[in-house]
Amino acid sequence: MLDFTNKTVVITGGGSGIGKAVALAFAKQGASVHIVEVNSENAKGTVTEIKKNNGKAGAHICDVSNQHQVAKTFKAIGKIDILINNAGISHIGKADTTSENDFDKIFNVNVKGIYNCLHEAIPVMKANGKGVILNMCSVAAQTGIAERFAYSMSKGAVYAMTLSVAKDYLKDNIRCNSVSPGRVHTPFVDDFLQKNYPGKEKEMYDALAKTQPIGRMGTPEEIAHLILFLCSDEASFITGSDYPIDGGFLKLNS
């Protein structure tokens, strides 16, 4: 089960956090992994770790918000069996405290970035006669989270794009799903706490962790395992679905 031998997987934002965990998981199951990253050091670090464990991987430095760069990168990769649209950025702010520049930045990376990758990958998959797309969504797409106006906007768009792509390419044997994590313990969380709550990192971490009814944050590896299944042949009957992986955040909070 979950054998990805001879499969080519493209993972955007695969240099750190959830993206890195996804890259390592696919490589462990035999896939040839292509890391598409704006941070060259992170991308090379993931590739080095994969190769150290006898996996197959390559790094491609690319800003997903730039369609020309994405087109050039995907052309260089060639074959694409699975696309993981993971690259994204966060933002804190309400509608009246979010600047136009910040709004545009969130949109360009989190929404246009996915569109750019879909635009280039789907024709390749159509030519291959099949393909799988997995978009990184968020619980923020389905519930109100304080001071996440622009971020929630972007993830709502990701959810809608997932449904649209799943519907449009049914006859092309292309599946498209999304996952919606709750809070996940990544380096981003640690950096955020250190920057915004110096000296109170543990206190704030515990408070954030307890917002999940299960009582803790998720791990990148737990998200990766769900993604691995949804992209596998074992999940061939699943398309047009979003899967919350949130420790009960959406359904069990009262």
Question: Taking all residues of the chain, what is their mean pLDDT, rounded to a whole number?
Answer: 97
> Does 202 map to a domain?
no
> Does 214 map to a domain?
no
Among 38-47, 64-73, 223-232, 245-254, the least confident range: 245-254
Can you give the pLDDT at residue 23? Answer: 98
- Burial code of 65-78, b = ≥16 C-beta within 10 A, e = fewer? bbbebbeebbeebe
Q: Are strands 174-181 and 242-245 parallel, antiparallel or unpaired?
A: parallel
User: Which of these, 143, 141, 125, lies nearest to 133 by C-alpha position?
Assistant: 125
The whole-number average pLDDT for the span 43-66 is 98
Active site residue 151: yes
Secondary structure letter of residue 172 according to DSSP: G
**Burial (CB count within 10 angstroms: exposed 0-12, middle 13-18, buried 19+), residue 114:** buried
Secondary structure letter of residue 159 according to DSSP: H
- pLDDT at residue 254 greater than cutoff 80: no
> Does 189 map to a domain?
no
Can you give the pLDDT at residue 220? Answer: 98
CATH number at residue 124: 3.40.50.720
> Does 196 map to a domain?
no
Query: What are the pLDDT digits (tens) for 93-151?
Result: 999 999 999 999 999 999 999 999 999 999 999 999 999 999 999 999 999 999 999 99
* Alpha-carbon separation of residue 236 from 2, 5, 226 (angstroms): 12, 17, 14
Structural domain boundaries enclosing 130: 8-184+219-252
Can you give the pLDDT at residue 188? Answer: 86
Total domains in the chain come to 1
The whole-number average pLDDT for the span 161-186 is 98
Structural contact between residues 114 and 161, judged by C-beta atoms closer than 8 angstroms: yes
- pLDDT at residue 192 greater than cutoff 90: no
Q: Out of 115, 151, 169, 197, which one is annotated catalytic?
A: 151
In whole angstroms, give the CA distance from residue 33 to residue 10: 6
What percent of the chain has a predicted confidence (pLDDT) above 70?
100
Can you give the pLDDT at residue 31? Answer: 98
Query: What are the pLDDT digits (tens) for 213-239?
Result: 999 999 999 999 999 999 999 999 999
> Does 65 map to a domain?
yes
> Does 191 map to a domain?
no
* Alpha helix (H) residue ranges in 66-148: 67-77, 100-106, 113-128
> Does 53 map to a domain?
yes
Helix pair angle (40-52, 17-28), 10° resolution: 30
Task: Look at the pTM and tell me if it is higher than 0.95.
Answer: yes
Can you give the pLDDT at residue 196? Answer: 84
Among 165-174, 196-205, 229-238, the least confident range: 196-205
Which residues, 6 or more positions from 81, have their beta carbon under 8 angstroms from its beta carbon? Answer: 7, 8, 9, 125, 128, 130, 131, 132
* Alpha-carbon separation of residue 221 from 5, 155, 225, 251, 252 (angstroms): 20, 21, 6, 22, 23
> Does 201 map to a domain?
no
